[in-house]
Structure 1
Amino acid sequence: MRYLNYINGLWKEPTSREYKENLSPHNGENLGEFPSSVAADLHDAVAAGKRSFPAWKKLSFQQRASYLQKAADHLKKNVQEIGQDLIKEEGKPLAEGMGEVNRAVSILEYYAAEARQPLGEVIPSANAETFLYTTRTPLGLVGLITPWNFPIAIPVWKLAPALIYGNTVVIKPADLTPKSVYHVMKAFDEAGLPAGVLNCVFGKGSVIGAEMVEHPDIKAISFTGSNQVGIQIQNRATTANGKKVQLEMGGKNPLIVLSDADVDKAVEIAVGGAFKSTGQKCTATSRIIVEEGIYEVFRDRLVNRTKELKVGNPLDGDTFVGPAVSKTQCDGVIKMIEVGKEEATLLCGGEAPSEEELANGFYVKPTVFENVSHDARLAREEIFGPVIALFKVKNYEEAVEMANDTEYGLSAAICTNNLTLAQRFIEDIEVGLVHVNSETAGTEPQVPFGGCKSSSTGSREQGKTAIEFYTQVKTIYLDRM
């Protein structure tokens, strides 16, 4: 089946008339053909978004919210079909794929409810005759560049606040997972969203994303992806074009396990954080730092548990680890594993599974290393795959020092029954997301998401703080004649 761009409320062929096959990472199945768009397609989408902005801005918050709720209802009604398409093209296991669609529903419903929340504040003036207050106004047309690892949730958590606060949108989805975003566009189309308010252009980031960053009619860019691309976007969008930019990028997220922790529970937290979604999360657990008193018992139980995990078809209900999203991604993970074999001790995994039915997929077994030096590539670089580096430390202080010794600052977790050390950890750790006795991965739509250091530009997504990026404050002095 051939799919089209969504521009000005219509499904449109790309100007190039060229398409790219969307192939399953499990077995190479063709899931459809998607546009290989060019700059002209992006220009059409931008023109549509710009034209529709004045009328969309003038709608009440409740009117805009009705479209978000209708889109949520469509996703909820079709969760089985959409979830299976997401699983087939991205590779995450069944429960996670279905869960992501339901998460998108929750995000849309959350921002629909924001239509009834306060927008500004009244501030006492020095002049008794002045009514002094603030409100917020939308930016205009915003550009969204979204990744493949959460192909429905991340697009929705960007576009939902953008729309509810009165902006119009052009989105460039990851070219590895276009069908998931197609379903989001279809949901809004079925909701009757006014033409031009939401536009989607499929294609390469080097073509469509680059053009989006340069286009003068796009007032802001929200990007989730690699640090390398994010820094390029920031430099070109802000320095050269004066746009507002929001970046969410990489992580090298630590889990600290102290000697008083419940070892079995800590192992499950480690396995879930590191190996769900095949480790393809910016919040995935990458480094596990264990106090020496329980290191050996934790290590052995972790290795045994890792060996039990089923690697296989993501549509099978008992699969824990699915394929990497693409050959390029899988090759990159295997390359880092080979580097790890030279600089550390391999405890388990580190190879492709032997099952014949997985031979055409991009699979790698969940992998655990120990004896990793602090300056090893395994300890420093984001791998974005199912790979754990284990470290042994003497005490809490050494653990936190090691955890903070990274350019990244997205997420971190600690396993402990010591309330004092848990509170110290919350203060000491240099990240945007802190978990106590839970996985480094995982976030709820009603709270802010984002990191510090090289993981983020500092602005937050989701929750009430999303308004900070998608609007600007207007201060009003109202006096009587």
Structure 2
Amino acid sequence: MCAYAAGQVYLNYMNGEWTAASTGRTIPSLNPANPKEIVGYVQESSREDLDRAVAAAKAAFRSWRKLSGAERGDLLFKAAAILERRADEVAETMTREMGKTLPEAKGETLRGVAILRYYAGEGMRKIGEVIPSTDRDALMFTTRVPLGVVGIISPWNFPVAIPIWKTAPALVYGNTVVLKPSEEASVTAAKVVECFEEAGLPAGVLNLVGGYGSVVGQALAEHPDVSGITFTGSNRTGKQIGQIALTRGAKYQLEMGGKNPIIIAADADLDQAVEATVSGGLRSTGQKCTATSRVMVMREVYDAFKAKLLDKVSAIKVGDGMEAGVWMGPCVSEKQQKTVLGYIEKGLAEGARLLAGGGKPADPALAEGYFVQPTVFEDVTKEMTIAREEIFGPVLALIPVDSLEEAIELANDSEYGLSASIFTKDIASMLAFIRETDAGLVRVNAETAGVELQAPFGGMKQSSSHSREQGQAAIEFFTAVKTVFVKA
């Protein structure tokens, strides 16, 4: 299973072997730019299959945890080198399977390489500290120990980066893993797992189980031998997983939705702000939890900003992400396309004014794909559905404001709190925004989407379980602190 081949069957990976699901059934993974193309078939697994994967991970944990962090890190370094060598193949698979453009897919794959190397180095970092004891004849210190078997439920929108930024720290800190990827991105996930296999990861340390979330994801959350579960996806599913994990006493980590605002101050560099708004809101077809959605613009620059924004949006080329020059690909599936179009219809019905887009592209060559035009609304009020609910598509809502205070108040008027940004040259405005914005990621003179791999990532309010991923913060979830007291 080394080269891309349309229509190939991809198996589960359990205990170091590629095996078919016990059901005998597969799920076709379609190219959203051309749904007639089947990218591959992935396994429709059962609870029985999930049980086998967890059992393999539990058995492998005994020896895996005994390796040094450096030894585990060496295997991640090897996996990174293999993924880098296969970057073109993996990126092409990603583009065909979930639709983002090939340059974006290549960039994400190389980010996965960098994440692997970062966490490989974590195997040599400190995992505790010495604490003074009141007993002069004693030594007291802390260390960190792995949780055990960790379940990973990953989404389709970043099918390389997100599984890797969960898997890599889990492994380097001594856990074993059962990965359940989205069925819309399971072919890409299989290729990532192949890299770990080729690197020589011991059998059972990393296991891949394909299938539907209602079956495999549910079983993973409920399994008594899964000590921790990390999830990225919708709020509805995330809350269900959190409740299940809480009930049985498992550790859980949830990263969910966003309704991310950008504030354009009167002194902003409008060209820079427009570039960031378009990139943050429409790149990857708006299918990012950190995508820009609400655009608060100071009234005195509103018309100038709008004109520049519409010029930029009108130049966007929509099409198959494999084609050179295409800037925005399709939605990941017909269901997602219908969801986005439904939100656009709600915006119109509730009185928002359509400035650009608003439907499927007119090009007959794109008629069968799951495409949506880049869409811009104005006359949007804070009560409207498109100003409150996460759309997860290429839709921007322009909202004029009269002051920074009003802009921040509107930005915070959301159940979400994932990311937010401001464009301004004024230091006082920057500091007020940083201090008062209720978001886990705030960015100044940069788009809302994007976080560096060495920095903690996570949201506030309904955007997360208030834990953080990536960077050195990952150790907080994937390990437990053990306090040691040694008496002479």
TM-score (norm 2): 0.97
Alpha-carbon distance in structure 2 between the residues aligned to 1:71 and 1:179: 18
1:155 aligns with 2:163: yes
| Helix, strand or coil at the partner of 1:116 | coil
Partner of 1:16: 23
Amino acid at match of 1:132: M
**Aligned match of 2:44 in 36, 56, 63?**
36
Alpha-carbon distance in structure 2 between the residues aligned to 1:190 and 1:255: 43
Alpha-carbon distance in structure 1 between the residues aligned to 2:140 and 2:75: 33
Partner of 1:260: 267
Alpha-carbon distance in structure 2 between the residues aligned to 1:234 and 1:115: 29
Partner of 1:362: 370
Amino acid at match of 2:180: K
Deviations for 1:92-122, whole angstroms, at most 9, x for unmatched residues?
Answer: 1121100010000000000001111111011
Alpha-carbon distance in structure 2 between the residues aligned to 1:170 and 1:445: 22
Deviation at 1:369, TM superposition (A): 0.3
Deviation at 1:129, TM superposition (A): 1.2
Alpha-carbon distance in structure 2 between the residues aligned to 1:426 and 1:317: 39
1:178 aligns with 2:186: yes
| Helix, strand or coil at the partner of 2:471 | coil
1:272 aligns with 2:265: no
Spell out the pairing of 1:209-288 with structure 2 (5 A cutoff).
209-239=217-247, 241-288=248-295
Partner of 1:342: 349
1:7 aligns with 2:14: yes
Partner of 1:388: 396
CA contact (8 A) 1:306 1:366 kept: yes
Deviations for 1:349-394, whole angstroms, at most 9, x for unmatched residues?
Answer: 0111111221110000000000011110011000000000110010
Deviations for 1:109-162, whole angstroms, at most 9, x for unmatched residues?
Answer: 000011111110111111211111100000000100000000110000000000
CA contact (8 A) 1:172 1:202 kept: yes
| Further displaced range: 362-371 or 349-358 | 349-358
CA contact (8 A) 1:25 1:325 kept: yes
**Aligned match of 1:88 in 88, 96, 121?**
96
Amino acid at match of 2:439: V
| Helix, strand or coil at the partner of 2:183 | coil
Partner of 1:51: 59
Amino acid at match of 1:11: W
Partner of 2:196: 188
**Aligned match of 1:460 in 468, 473, 478?**
468
Alpha-carbon distance in structure 2 between the residues aligned to 1:263 and 1:424: 20
**Aligned match of 1:292 in 294, 299, 322?**
299
Deviation at 1:282, TM superposition (A): 0.2
Amino acid at match of 1:249: M
- Percent sequence identity is 51
Alpha-carbon distance in structure 1 between the residues aligned to 2:180 and 2:301: 47
Question: Which runs of 5 or more residues in structure 1 are unaligned?
Answer: none
Amino acid at match of 1:473: V
| Helix, strand or coil at the partner of 1:323 | coil
Partner of 1:104: 112
Alpha-carbon distance in structure 1 between the residues aligned to 2:349 and 2:315: 26
Q: How many residues of Structure 1 are paired with residues of Structure 2 in the alignment?
A: 479
1:374 aligns with 2:352: no
Alpha-carbon distance in structure 2 between the residues aligned to 1:256 and 1:24: 36
Deviations for 1:312-368, whole angstroms, at most 9, x for unmatched residues?
Answer: 110123111100000000000000001111220000001111112211100000000
1:403 aligns with 2:411: yes
Deviations for 1:149-195, whole angstroms, at most 9, x for unmatched residues?
Answer: 00110000000000000000001000011111101110011011000
| Further displaced range: 202-211 or 315-324 | 315-324
Amino acid at match of 1:42: L
Amino acid at match of 1:13: A
1:332 aligns with 2:339: yes
| Helix, strand or coil at the partner of 1:311 | coil
Alpha-carbon distance in structure 2 between the residues aligned to 1:89 and 1:360: 15
Amino acid at match of 1:405: D
Amino acid at match of 2:478: Y
| Helix, strand or coil at the partner of 1:231 | helix
Alpha-carbon distance in structure 2 between the residues aligned to 1:99 and 1:76: 11
Alpha-carbon distance in structure 1 between the residues aligned to 2:123 and 2:270: 45
Partner of 1:65: 73
CA contact (8 A) 1:95 1:317 kept: no
Amino acid at match of 1:368: V
Q: Which runs of 4+ in 1 moved over 6 A?
A: none
Question: Which runs of 5 or more residues in structure 2 are unaligned?
Answer: 1-7
1:413 aligns with 2:398: no
Q: CA RMSD in A?
A: 0.7
Spell out the pairing of 1:409-448 with structure 2 (5 A cutoff).
409-448=417-456
| Helix, strand or coil at the partner of 1:131 | strand
Deviations for 1:458-480, whole angstroms, at most 9, x for unmatched residues?
Answer: 11000001000000000011111
Amino acid at match of 2:265: L
| Further displaced range: 310-319 or 194-203 | 310-319
Deviation at 1:255, TM superposition (A): 0.2
| Helix, strand or coil at the partner of 1:465 | helix
